[in-house]
Chains A and B, each alone.
Chain A
Amino acid sequence: MNILLSRLVQAATVAVLVGAATFAMMRNLPGDAAWRIAAGRYGYDNVNAAAAEAVRSELGLGGHWFPAFLQWMGNLFRLDFGVSLVSGQPVIHEIAHQLGASLWLALAAVGLSLLIGPPLGIIAGLRPGGLFDRALLVVSTALKAVPQFLMALILILLLSVQLGWLPAAGYGQPRHFILPALALALGLAAVNARITRDAMASVAAQPFYAFAQWKGLSRTQVLWRHGLRNVSVPLLTYLGLQFVLLVEGVVVIESIVGWPGIGHALVHAVFARDVPMVQGTALLLGLGFVLVNALIDLLAARIDPRGVQ
Chain B
Amino acid sequence: MLIPVRSLAGALVGLCLALPAFAESAINVAAPFEIQSAEPSTTGHIFTRMGIAETLVDADPQGRLLPGLATEWAVSDDGLTWHFILREAVSFHDGSAMTPEAVVNALEIARAKPGPLAGLPIVAITPEAGAVVITLTEPRAALPAYLAESRSQILAPAAYGADGQGLAVIGTGPYRVTALTPPLSMRATEFADYWGDAPHVPDVTYTAVSRAETRALMAESGDADFVFNLDPATVTRLSRSDALQVHSVAIPRVLLLKVNAAHPFLEDADARRALSLAIDRAGLAQAVLRYPEGADQLFPPAIGAWHNRALEPLAHDPEAARVMLENLGWAAGSDGILTRDGQRFALSLTTYPDRPELPLVAAVLEQQFRAVGIELAINSTNSSEIPAGHQAGTLELGLIARNLALIPDPIGTVLSDYAPGGDWGAMGWQNAEIVALAQSLARGEGDDKDRARISAILQDELPVIPIAWYQQTLAVRAGLEGAVIDPWERNFGLAGLRFAE
* Bound CA–CA A31/B210 (angstroms): 24
Taking the complex as formed, is A264 at the interface, i.e. its CB lies under 8 A from any CB of chain B?
A: yes
Q: Quick one: given A48-B423, A49-B423, A50-B114, are A31 and B385 in contact (CB under 8 Å)? A: yes
B220 touching A47, Cβ below 8 Å: no
**Residue A304, interface by CB 8 Å:** no
B479 interface residue per 8 A CB criterion: no
| B37 within 8 Å of A (CB atoms) | yes
Residues of B within 8 A of A260 (CB): 181, 183-185
Contacts of A35 in B (CB 8 A): 382, 384-385, 387-388
Please count how many residues in chain A sit with their CB below 8 Å of the partner chain's CB atoms. Answer: 47
Chain B: interface secondary structure?
Answer: loop
B213 at interface, CB cutoff 8 A: yes
Q: Is the CB of A49 within 8 A of B223?
A: no
Among A47, A168, A259, the most chain B Cβ lie within 10 Å of the Cβ of A168
A205: interface (CB < 8 Å): no
In whole angstroms, how far apart are the Cα atoms of A170 and B30 in the complex? 9
Are B184 and A168 touching (Cβ within 8 A)?
A: no
Residues of chain A within 8 A of B209, CB atoms compared: 169, 258
Give chain B residues whose Cβ lies under 8 Å from the Cβ of A88: 37, 39, 165
Closest to A272 in B: B382
User: How many inter-chain residue pairs (CB < 8 Å) link A and B?
Assistant: 139
Q: Are B387 and A52 in contact (CB under 8 A)?
A: yes
Interface membership of B41, Cβ < 8 A: yes
Taking a contact as CB atoms closer than 8 A, the residue among A39, A45, A156, A170 that contacts B403 in the complex is A45
A255 within 8 A of B: yes
Inter-chain contact B422/A48, CB cutoff 8 Å: yes
Question: How far apart are the CA atoms of A32 and B392 in the complex, in Å?
Answer: 11
Partner of A160 from the list B119, B217, B424 (CB cut-off 8 Å) is B217
When the two chains form the complex, which single residue of B39, B217, B422 contacts A161, counting CB atoms closer than 8 Å? B217
B200 at interface, CB cutoff 8 A = no
A243-292 interface (Cβ within 8 A of B): 255-260, 264-265, 268, 271
Contact of A39 among B182, B210, B382 (CB under 8 A): B382
Say yes or no for B391: interface residue by CB 8 A criterion.
yes
List of B residues within 8 angstroms of A169 by Cβ: 30, 207, 209, 214, 217-218, 223
Do B388 and A258 touch across chains, with their CB atoms under 8 A apart?
no
Tell me, yes or no, whether B115 is within 8 Å of chain A by CB: yes
List of B residues within 8 angstroms of A172 by Cβ? 185
User: Bound complex: CA of A172 vs CA of B205, how far in Å?
Assistant: 12
Q: How far is the CB of B492 from chain A (nearest CB, A)?
A: 17
* With A168-B221, A169-B223: A265-B183 Cβ-Cβ less than 8 Å: yes
Q: How far is the CA of A41 from the CA of B178 in the complex (A)?
A: 24
Given A48-B422, A258-B184 in contact, is the A31-B384 Cβ separation under 8 Å? yes
B114 touches A44 (CB 8 A): no
The reply on A123 being an interface residue by CB < 8 A is no
Residue in contact with A46 in the complex, picked from B114, B217, B218, B400, CB distance below 8 Å: B114
- Bound CA span A157–B217, Å: 8
Interchain CA distance A268-B382 in the complex, whole Å? 12
Q: Which residues of A contact B218 (CB under 8 A)?
A: 167-170
Contact status A268-B183, CB under 8 Å: yes
B387's partner among A48, A86, A157, A259 (CB-CB below 8 A) is A48
Closest approach, in angstroms, between the C-beta of A294 and any C-beta of chain B? 31
- Chain B residues contacting A86 (CB-CB under 8 Å) are 36, 42
Contact residues in A for B207 (Cβ distance below 8 Å): 169-171, 258
CA distance A36 to B382 in the complex (A): 7
Q: How far is the CB of B362 from chain A (nearest CB, A)?
A: 15
For the complex, is A229 an interface residue (Cβ under 8 Å from B)?
Answer: no
CA distance A35 to B119 in the complex (A): 19
Q: Give which listed residue, B36, B221, B354, contacts A44 with CB less than 8 A.
A: B354
- Please, which residues of chain B bring their CB within 8 A of the CB of A168? 214, 217-218, 220-221, 223
The answer to whether A256 touches B211, judged by C-beta atoms less than 8 angstroms apart, is yes
A residues near B424, Cβ cutoff 8 Å: 48
CB distance from A95 to the nearest CB of B (A): 12
B126 interface residue per 8 A CB criterion: no
Q: Which residues of B contact A258 (CB under 8 A)?
A: 30, 184, 207-211, 214
- By a CB distance below 8 angstroms, the chain B residues around A43 are 33, 42, 354, 383
For B478, what are the chain A residues with a Cβ–Cβ distance below 8 Å? Answer: none
Rounded to whole angstroms, the CA-CA distance of A255 and B212 in the bound complex is: 11
Question: Is A87 a contact partner of B210 (Cβ separation < 8 A)?
Answer: no
Determine whether the beta carbon of A164 is less than 8 Å from that of B221.
yes
Known: A168-B218, A257-B214. A42 touches B354 (CB 8 A): no
B292 CB to nearest chain A CB (Å): 26
Residue of B37, B221, B423 near A89 (CB, 8 A) is: B37
Looking at the assembled complex, report how far the CB atom of A17 sits from the nearest CB atom of chain B, in whole angstroms.
Answer: 28
Assess whether A54 is interfacial by the CB under 8 Å rule: yes
Given A87-B182, A88-B165, A256-B211; A161-B220 close (CB under 8 Å): yes
Interface residues in B421-438 (C-beta closer than 8 Å to A) = 422-424
B387 engages A47 (CB within 8 Å): yes
The complex places the Cα of A260 from the Cα of B36 at a distance, in Å, of 12
* Of A31, A52, A86, A87, most B-chain CB atoms within 10 Å: A87
B34 at interface, CB cutoff 8 A: yes
7 A-B pairs with CB atoms under 8 Å apart are: A31-B385, A46-B114, A50-B119, A160-B217, A170-B218, A257-B214, A271-B382
**Top 10 A-B pairs ranked by shortest CB distance?**
A44-B383, A39-B384, A35-B384, A160-B221, A51-B114, A258-B209, A48-B423, A168-B221, A260-B184, A168-B217
- 4 new A-B contacts, CB < 8 A, other than A31-B384, A48-B416, A52-B387, are A52-B388, A89-B37, A169-B214, A256-B211
